[in-house]
Amino acid sequence: MSKQAIGVVGAGTMGQGIAQVALTAGREVRLYDVAEAPLARAQAEIEKGLTKLVDKGKLTAEAGDAALARLAPTTSLEALADCEVILEAAPERPDLKESLFRDLSRLSPEAILASNTSSLSLTRLAAVSERPERVVGMHFFNPVPVLGLVEVIRAEQTADATVAKIEALAEELGKTAVAIADSPGFAVNRLLVPMINEAAFLLQEGAASAEDIDRAMQLGAAHPMGPLALADLIGLDVCLAIMEVLQDGFGDPKYRPCPLLKRLVAAGHLGRKSGRGFHVYA
Ligand code: CAA
């Protein structure tokens, strides 16, 4: 088993960011997705991210080239078989994640399987794998190269050694780990996404414009970006899925998703990735 290689499943925004930080930490990365097109896009984005670091003098040009050379995009899940840790950052569909965890646990019996899920139960994912004690949550924040936190989520079945290994990996990747129980929304999303949902209610009620709601929280609460712009960055579909998980998980009506949020998602206005969410993007 190669101690060096990290597997990343899913070449979307989060997978790209996770791959980039693993590459700059000196790891080989096998980046899996189902087709060549998302892998090519991910490679281009990672190259852009590395160039930013080189331009800012945070990475030498040689180190940037070497990091990119350690990236191996693949459409074969088998290519991840000898990875020490496999970080799953696939779309937030329970059926998809469960099938990946079943397959990965058969494919690579020794690897730790860490999910970047923002909303699903790790205990449930661990239960479908063949070795639940090696399943754990490793939740990064977008943009991954910039934000310093990793939530380490312990499923009911997770072994202490698995948690320790993932905490050490987070540190190696330059992140600070906080340990969280497997509770709906974990810590950050349970606090952050209801705030976004409440901002959507403010907008729906016509209490203020989207621009003013965002400006209010930037200037009045020193947030780096307003809640509606942040929702556009995260993805409105992801925000809605998190609200639904909070509502299902706690059965508390305070977590009811805002109808405007639901309507925008139904219309395909998912935020930056679709060109329009609460705001419109060029
Ligand atoms: N690779 C390397 N560096 C990068 C980068 C990348 N891909 N993207 C940005 N950077 C660097 C920039 O070069 C810049 O560096 P310097 O400070 O050295 O100049 C720095 O990061 C900031 O970038 P920008 O200047 O482009 O942008 P900004 O200052 O306007 O900040 C932001 C943008 C980082 C997104 C900031 O607004 C922010 O932190 N917003 C809040 C984001 C947030 O809350 N995210 C959490 C979402 S919740 C989540 O992710 C979990 C979930 O499950 C849904």
| pLDDT bucket at 119, cuts 50 / 70 / 90 | confident
| 142 is annotated as an active-site residue | no
Query: Could you read off the pLDDT of 154-186 as tens digits, one per residue?
Result: 999 999 999 999 999 999 999 999 999 999 999
CA–CA dist 151, 124 (Å, integer): 18
| 118 is annotated as an active-site residue | yes
Cβ of residue 52 lying under 6 Å from some atom of ligand 1: yes
Active-site option among 88, 92, 151, 167: 151
Residue 209 has pLDDT above 70, yes or no: yes
CA 168 to chain centre: 19
| CATH code assigned to 189-266 | 1.10.1040.50
Is-contact 118 238, C-beta < 8 A?
yes
User: Average pLDDT of 34-48?
Assistant: 98
Query: Could you read off the pLDDT of 240-264 as tens digits, one per residue?
Result: 999 999 999 999 999 999 999 999 9
Cβ of residue 234 lying under 6 Å from some atom of ligand 1: yes
For the 6-181 domain, the top CATH level (class) is alpha beta
Is-contact 269 261, C-beta < 8 A?
no
| pLDDT bucket at 210, cuts 50 / 70 / 90 | very high
pTM higher than 0.85 for the full model?
yes
User: Average pLDDT of 85-114?
Assistant: 94
Angle between helices 227-234 and 188-204 (to 10 degrees): 120
State which ligand 1 atom lies nearest to the alpha carbon of 45.
7
Is-contact 115 152, C-beta < 8 A?
no
| pLDDT bucket at 2, cuts 50 / 70 / 90 | very low
Q: CB 38: neighbour CB atoms within 10 A?
A: 18
Mutate to test the pocket of ligand 1, among 146, 149, 192, 244 (most ligand atoms within 8 A of CB): 146
204-214 b/e (C-beta count within 10 Å ≥ 16 → b) = eeeeeebeebb
What is the rounded (10 degree) CA torsion for 18, 100, 192, 153? Answer: -80
- CA 120 to centroid of ligand 1, rounded, Å: 25
- CA 147 to centroid of ligand 1, rounded, Å: 7
CA–CA dist 9, 1 (Å, integer): 18
CA 259 to chain centre: 25
Residue 89 is encoded by which pair of tokens?
A: 């950052």
User: Average pLDDT of 50-67?
Assistant: 97
Residue 109 has pLDDT above 80, yes or no: yes
Protein residue with least CA distance to atom 12, ligand 1: 52
| 139 is annotated as an active-site residue | yes
Residue 145 is encoded by which pair of tokens?
A: 């190269």
Give the pairing type, strands 29-32 and 85-88. unpaired
Query: Could you read off the pLDDT of 61-91 as tens digits, one per residue?
Result: 999 999 999 999 999 999 999 999 999 999 9
DSSP 8-state assignment for residue 2: -
**Distances, alpha carbon 120 to alpha carbons 51, 139, 270, in Å:** 34, 11, 20
**Domain spans in the chain, listed from the N-terminal domain onward:** 6-181, 189-266
User: Average pLDDT of 84-104?
Assistant: 95
Could you please report the per-residue DSSP string of 175-235? -EEEEEES-TTTTHHHHHHHHHHHHHHHHHTTSS-HHHHHHHHHHHH--SS-HHHHHHHH-
Cβ of residue 54 lying under 6 Å from some atom of ligand 1: no
CA–CA dist 14, 220 (Å, integer): 29
Active-site option among 88, 189, 197, 269: 189
Cβ of residue 94 lying under 6 Å from some atom of ligand 1: no
- What pLDDT score was predicted for residue 4? 83
Cβ of residue 51 lying under 6 Å from some atom of ligand 1: no
CA 147 to chain centre: 12
State which ligand 1 atom lies nearest to the alpha carbon of 192.
48
CA–CA dist 172, 92 (Å, integer): 26
User: Average pLDDT of 90-117?
Assistant: 94
